[in-house]
Amino acid sequence: CKVSEATSVSTLSVKLLFVSCRAEEIPLKILAHNGLVGRLIGKEGRNLKKIEHETGTKITISSLQDLSIYNPERTITVKGTVEACASAEVEIMKKLREAFENDMLAVNQQANLIPGLNLSALGIFSTGLSVLPPPAGPRGAPPAPPYHPFATHSGYFSSLYPPHQFGPFPHHHSYPEQEIVNLFIPTQAVGAIIGKKGAHIKQLARFAGASIKIAPAEGPDVSERMVIITGPPEAQFKAQGRIFGKLKEENFFNPKEEVKLEAHIRVPSSTAGRVIGKGGKTVNELQNLTSAEVIVPRDQTPDENEEVIVRIIGHFFASQTAQRKIREIVQQVKQQEQKYPQGVASQRSK
């Protein structure tokens, strides 16, 4: 086969490649981000079948097993006459562009919760922005250094992720504190998160710098499974973000529906009252700020570590903001206890 033409559509991170094999039939190959492909296929393959039927083409898509964290694109192959392939390409691009624009709209809306956050630097979303090179400096100077989303000092976000969490800790601390978050996903999504022979979950763990394990099912007919994520705040952000993104990519939620998951974090039972606040004031403010549902059961029995579970339900950014704000409250209480030992802190917190 011989390459006759190549075209790139940078805004969609989609590349078109025509390969001439026979005069009467030209297979068309389209590279598209996996995050867009699920919505092209449609539920039970309906969108793809409709395009095939209307254009008289045969359309196949490369296997999910060919994907990796570093190669998120899938190959869409269209076979038919030149005219049929051209018609199919128009319809395919319509679907891909619609999915892309929906993603961009959702990202822009959610990013408003955390001003100053550079989503592309995290590489966890399917917009294709993360593959763009860094901008060059003025007058041919070297490119600007990679933007670190957790080192920003822009108001609200820097209060969620203070710079000291990611730099050297004072005194005896050398590394950011390890956090444990239990994230609940649909049972039918477990295979997609694990990948063939565990390939995807291993790649995800390496990418995020976190330990990621899926707990055994508690029964034969459970609707959700628990994903146990262990790592510092930045690793939590990356791991949870990719899991939310994967569920969206694989159509476990409606294309126009936000992915909302339940996350559990444990806090010392002595700080639960501070999270709730007097008359529920703090938890209500937290819910209004983040758009997440935050549940702190008042009658919960502490575990062997004297900790209780806080439940957080919401889309990715809402959940992350709530998690960070709750961790901040816990940290404040710990600092007070260190500064005012033997019950003084508890008196001051009332």
How many residues are there in the chain? 350
In terms of Cα–Cα distance, which of 57, 59, 51 is closest to 77?
59
The answer to whether the CB of 181 falls within 8 A of the CB of 327 is no
Question: How many C-alpha atoms does 138 have within 13 Å on its Cβ side?
Answer: 0
Instruction: Tell me how far apart the alpha carbons of residues 14 and 5 are, in angstroms, rounded to a whole number.
Output: 15
In terms of Cα–Cα distance, which of 51, 37, 62, 42 is closest to 87?
51
Strand 224-231, strand 179-186: pairing: antiparallel
Structure tokens at 56: 């008289």
DSSP letters spanning 132-192: SPPPP-GGGPPPPPPP-TTS---HHHHHHS-GGGTSPPSTT--SPPPEEEEEEEEGGGHHH
Structure tokens at 343: 């019950």
Query: What's residue 15's pLDDT?
Result: 57
C-alpha distances in Å from residue 263, one per residue of 177, 294, 296, 314: 19, 10, 12, 9
Query: What's residue 135's pLDDT?
Result: 38
Instruction: Tell me how far apart the alpha carbons of residues 220 and 83 are, in angstroms, rounded to a whole number.
Output: 51
Listed in sequence order, the residues at least 6 apart from 220 whose beta carbon sits closer than 8 Å to its beta carbon are none
- The alpha carbon of 34 is separated from its chain's Cα centroid by a whole number of angstroms, namely 14
The answer to whether the CB of 273 falls within 8 A of the CB of 261 is no
Instruction: Tell me how far apart the alpha carbons of residues 34 and 73 are, in angstroms, rounded to a whole number.
Output: 5
Instruction: Tell me how far apart the alpha carbons of residues 151 and 164 are, in angstroms, rounded to a whole number.
Output: 9
Q: Is 200 exposed, middle or buried (0-12, 13-18, 19+ CB in 10 A)?
A: buried
Query: What's residue 35's pLDDT?
Result: 77
Question: What H or E segment, with its residue span, contains residue 282?
Answer: helix 281-290
C-alpha distances in Å from residue 31, one per residue of 38, 68, 143, 218, 347: 13, 14, 28, 40, 62
Backbone angles phi, psi at 144, to 5 degrees: -65, 150
DSSP letters spanning 302-342: P-TTSEEEEEEEE-HHHHHHHHHHHHHHHHHHHHHHHHSTT
Instruction: Tell me how far apart the alpha carbons of residues 132 and 136 are, in angstroms, rounded to a whole number.
Output: 12
Strand 293-295, strand 2-9: pairing: unpaired
- Rg of the chain (C-alpha set): 24
- The alpha carbon of 250 is separated from its chain's Cα centroid by a whole number of angstroms, namely 13
CATH number corresponding to 2-109: 3.30.1370.10
- Which CATH code, of 3.30.310.210, 3.30.1330.10, 3.40.630.40, 1.10.10.10, is assigned to 155-348? 3.30.310.210
Instruction: Tell me how far apart the alpha carbons of residues 198 and 26 are, in angstroms, rounded to a whole number.
Output: 37
Residue ranges per domain, the chain?
2-109, 155-348
For residue 21, the one-letter residue type is: C
Give me the residues paired with residue 14 across strands.
9
Please list the ranges in the chain whose pLDDT falls under 50: 1-11, 20-23, 115-116, 121, 123-124, 126-174, 344-350
Query: What's residue 289's pLDDT?
Result: 79
